[in-house]
Amino acid sequence: MMIDLPPLLRHPGAVLTAAIVLGAVSFWGASRYLEERAASVERNALAAYDPQPVIVARSDLAAGTRLGRDELAIRRVPARFVTKSAVAPAELSRIEGRQLLYAVGAGEPLSMALLAEDSTTLFSASIPAGFRALTFPVDEVSSFSGLLAPGDLIDLLYSAEATPGGERATSVQPLLQAVRVRATGRTTHRLPVRGAGDIAAAPDREFVTITLDLSPEDAQRVVLAQRLGELTAVLRNPGDSLPHATAPLDGRSLFPRAELQSHRLALRPPGRKVEIILGGRGRFIEEPEAP
């Protein structure tokens, strides 16, 4: 039995053209199916992992690092790895400028537990490079009755007893000048209050130690001076940071010679009085001071 083909298919190239068209349609259909299938698998995977954008360390960060945009990056992390304290991108402004309490590896999500509070900072990180923070005890005089505050400038006077030529004498000389106070007790920053006349003043706080910014060499000098004698702090104007040449002072140079003699006479206890009897009359005269 003969089947008559349509006139269009009787052409020699018609069958080949039809095959190509059918193949292209099949390929397109298969491609669409595979694309939809891949998209479905991806959607299922995303739904399973639920990645959340969080802020991570861009590189390895050491403890004490102050955070800025250059140290941070945003990554998508599966929800099961995101802690409640993780930092979201919307919270970036909250952590800028704050410091790390612990080291963080590159790509590790940041959390609030790793950061110092807004009002605190690592004390060691606040020390300028090349300096050392040295704490030593002070009394009521050296603390200026609690009015000394972080940021003030002080001079340190060293006093000690010596026996030059067998004569016991106390001398005072400047040890360090224009030293910046890093902390008073546990206070590391000024807490301004308003005093009389709306004048800014530091609050009266009790403390028994002060911490100073010193070079390593000056820190050694202060420690040695504490062992050998006594240190007294002298407050100076914050705008007066220039050193002043001051010679050591002892009891002999405390007053000029003439003033010293009168000062000694004023302080000398009364001498012994001796009774002299002449012609039956007696009178008392003061025994002259031994040379």
Per-residue confidence (pLDDT) for residue 194, from 0 to 100: 44
Lowest mean pLDDT, pick from 143-152, 172-181, 274-283: 274-283
Per-residue confidence (pLDDT) for residue 270, from 0 to 100: 59
CATH number of 52-114: 3.90.1210.10
Tokens of 147: 């009015």
Tokens of 242: 């220039």
Is the model's pLDDT at 120 over the cut of 90? no
As to burial, measured by CB atoms within 10 angstroms (0-12 exposed, 13-18 middle, 19+ buried), residue 212 is buried
Please state, in angstroms and rounded to a whole number, the distance separating the CA atoms of residues 146 and 174. 23
Q: What is the mean pLDDT of residues 105-116?
A: 87
Per-residue confidence (pLDDT) for residue 212, from 0 to 100: 92
Per-residue confidence (pLDDT) for residue 121, from 0 to 100: 58
Tokens of 106: 């590159």
Q: What are phi and psi of 168, to 5 degrees?
A: -75, 130
Answer positive or negative: Cα dihedral of 274, 276, 282, 284.
negative
Q: What is the mean pLDDT of residues 89-118?
A: 85
- 171-197 pLDDT, tens digit each: 889 999 999 988 888 766 555 544 445
Is the model's pLDDT at 109 over the cut of 70? yes
**Pair 212, 134: CB distance under 8 Å:** yes
Stated pTM of the model: 0.47
| Distance (Å) of CA 13 to CA 6, 126, 199 | 14, 86, 103
Strands 200-201 and 193-194: antiparallel
Answer positive or negative: Cα dihedral of 227, 230, 235, 239.
negative
- 235-266 pLDDT, tens digit each: 888 888 777 777 788 877 766 655 555 555 55
Please state, in angstroms and rounded to a whole number, the distance separating the CA atoms of residues 194 and 284. 65
Is the model's pLDDT at 144 over the cut of 70? no
**Domain boundaries, given as residue ranges, for the chain:** 7-48, 52-114, 131-250
Over pLDDT 70: what percentage of the chain?
A: 65
pLDDT category of residue 199 using cuts at 50, 70 and 90: very low
Q: Helix (H, G, I), strand (E, B), or coil: what is residue 227?
A: helix
pLDDT category of residue 30 using cuts at 50, 70 and 90: confident
Per-residue confidence (pLDDT) for residue 83, from 0 to 100: 82
Per-residue confidence (pLDDT) for residue 282, from 0 to 100: 53
Per-residue confidence (pLDDT) for residue 198, from 0 to 100: 47
Is the model's pLDDT at 278 over the cut of 80? no
